Amino acid sequence: MTGIHKTTEKNLMVFSGRAHGALAQEVADALGTHLVPMQAYTFANSEIYVRFDESVRGCDAFVIQSHTAPVNEWIMEHLIMVDALKRGSAKRITVVLPFYGYARQDKKHRGREPISARLMADLFKTAGADRLLAVDLHTAQIQGFFDGPVDHLMALPILSEHVLQNYGDEKLAVVSPDAGRIKVAEWWSNRLGGVPLAFIHKTRDVERPNQSVANRVVGEVEGRTCILVDDMIDSGGTICQAAEALMQDGAKSVVIAATHAIFSGPAIERLSGSVAREVVVTNTLPISEEAHAMEKLTVLSIAPLLSRAIREVFEDGSVTSMFEGRA
C-alpha cells in the first residue's frame, strides 16, 4: 500500500468573539479547556480585525458569539472569525449561536420585504461554516435555511427545572403569549406534569415593530400560577400586557420564563413595574447591571447546555437525546 498513513487525534478548540466573553468562558470551563487567545480590534473607520494566536490547522472549531447590540457589529466579527478559521485550515467549523441575530425576520409579512434570517444562514455558509448550533430559534423553520447540519438547542430543561423546584407544589398553568408558540407551551406542559394550557389572543400591526395588543385569554387560568413562556423579551411590552391580561382573568400569579433577555429600551422599567411574580431568563445574551439589580429577575446559565451539546457534536454523539428526541 502506497502513501503515508497516520492516525490523527481529534482536537477541539473553542473560540469567542467580544460580544459575550463571559458566557464563552463558562462554556470552555465546563468543557475543561481554554478559549483560544486571539487579537481583535476595530479600526478607526469601524472595520474589524481578527487573528488567532495559535495554529488552528486540522482542529474541530467551535466559534461562540451572541448577537447582542450592536447586532450588526458582532455578526460581522463572527463572520470574520469563521473566515479566519477557514483560511487557517480548520477541519470543521461549528458556529455557536446562543442568540441568532435577525431570527424574527424569518418570513415575508408584506411584499418587498427581506427574509433576513435566511440571509444570515447564507452568510455563515459562505464564510466557511460547516454546522450551526443555536439556542431557541424564533421559529424552527430557520433550521432549513442553512445548507448543512443545524443543532437546535432548547433552554426548556433548564427553565422548567427552576419552575418545578420553586412552584411545583402550586396549581400551575402554562401560557403561550400567542397562538404561534402553542407547540412550545405543550412541551412545557408535559415537562411540568401535564398542567393545563392557555394562550393569549393578540393582534400586531406589521408597520409598528415591538408593539402588539393582548385581546383576551383563551384557556382556564383562574386561581392558577401561570407560567408565561416565550423565546425572548425585547422591549417587554408584549409579555407585560400578557401578564396583565392573565391577572385580570383571575390568575393567582404570573411567572415569566424566557430564553433570550434582549431587554431593549424600556424593558427593565416595564418588567420591574409589571404584575409578574418572577422573571426567569438565561444568559444567552449579556445581562446589564441595571437588569441584575431588578429584584424579580432570575438569570440561569445556559453554559451547561452549550458545553454538553458541543461535546456531543465533537464526539459524534446525539444532541437529540438531550431533549427527549425533540431537537
Task: Kindly report which listed range (51-65, 156-170, 214-228) carries the lowest average pLDDT score.
Answer: 214-228
Cα 130 from Cα 103, distance rounded (Å): 19
Grade residue 179 by pLDDT with cuts at 50, 70 and 90. Answer: confident
Check whether 192 has a pLDDT greater than 90.
yes
Provide the β-strand partners of residue 281.
299
Q: What is the pLDDT of residues 235-263, one digit of tens each?
A: 999 999 999 999 999 999 999 999 999 99
Residue 213 has pLDDT above 80, yes or no: no
Q: How confident is the model at residue 6 (pLDDT cuts 50, 70, 90)?
A: confident
pLDDT tens string 268-313: 999 999 999 999 999 999 999 999 999 999 999 999 999 999 999 9
Provide the pLDDT confidence category of residue 324 given band limits of 50, 70 and 90: confident
pLDDT for 40-59, tens place per residue? Answer: 999 999 999 999 999 999 99
Banded pLDDT at 209 (limits 50, 70, 90): low
Tell me whether residue 125 is one of the annotated catalytic residues: no
Per-residue model confidence (pLDDT) at position 51: 98
Q: 125, 202, 252, 296: which one is catalytic?
A: 202
Evaluate if residue 39 carries a pLDDT over 80: yes
**210: pLDDT strictly greater than 70:** no
pLDDT for the residue 4:
85
What is the pLDDT averaged over residues 59-70?
A: 98
DSSP 128-141: T-SEEEEES-SSGG
What's the angle, vertex CA 237, arms to CA 181 and CA 67, rounded to 5? 70
> Is the pLDDT reported for residue 7 higher than 90?
no
pLDDT over threshold 70, residue 205: no
Q: What percent of the chain has pLDDT over 70?
A: 94
Please tell me the predicted confidence (pLDDT) of residue 206: 57
Determine what percent of the chain is predicted with pLDDT higher than 90.
88
For residue 2, pLDDT beyond 90: no
Mean per-residue pLDDT of the chain: 94
- Mean pLDDT throughout 154-176? 97
pLDDT in the model for residue 171: 97
Give yes or no for residue 106 having a pLDDT over 80. yes
Query: Any idea of the CA torsion for 73, 74, 80, 81, to the nearest 10 degrees?
Result: 160
Residue 119 sits at φ, ψ, to 5 deg, of -60, -40
The number of CA neighbours under 13 Å toward the Cβ of 13 is 22
For the chain, how big is the Rg over CA atoms in Å? Answer: 21
In this prediction, residue 180 has a pLDDT band, given cuts at 50, 70 and 90, of: confident
- Rounded CA gap, 121 and 134, in Å? 12
| pLDDT over 70 (residue 211) | no
Please tell me the distance from the alpha carbon of residue 299 to that of residue 51, in angstroms, as a whole number. 33
* pLDDT tens-digit readout, 116-140: 999 999 999 999 999 999 999 999 9
Question: Residue 74 is inside which H or E element, if any?
Answer: helix 71-87
With a cut of 90, say whether residue 314 has pLDDT above it: yes
- The answer on pLDDT for 266 being more than 80 is yes
